[in-house]
Amino acid sequence: MDSRRIAYLQQLTGLKLTPAEARRLERDLAQLDRQAALLPRLAQGHGSPGDGTVPAAPMPLEFQEELVEGNAPDLEGGFFVVGRARPGGSEPVDPESGA
């Protein structure tokens, strides 16, 4: 992390930091990067269900069918599990009625 990157982030977000705040941000981001480095790595291919690895490529259809996006638009960064999808489809299923 260098001062040019901190300056770039300020420009990107429309925020201006004091030199002390910028130094602190540099430390915080380095800490965040260190924490993130401890997260499981991306698996090659699709990974294995439940083993903590994560799919690097889009999930195969059979996994997608276990997940439903609710009736929500596909929020960037979010997913929501509410029940099972209809086989082969992406329409939400009411988990209580199964309809």
Q: What share of the chain is helix, strand, coil (3-state, %, to 5)?
A: 35, 5, 60
Minimum distance of another protein from residue 78's CB (angstroms):
2
Minimum distance of another protein from residue 7's CB (angstroms):
11
73: Cα within 13 Å, side-chain hemisphere:
2
Minimum distance of another protein from residue 88's CB (angstroms):
20
Question: Given phi > 0 = left and psi -120 to 50 = alpha, else beta, which region is 18?
Answer: beta
Q: Which residues bind another protein (CB under 8 A)?
A: 8-10, 12-17, 21, 25, 28-29, 31-33, 35-36, 38-42, 47, 49-50, 52-56, 59, 66-67, 70-73, 75-83, 94-96
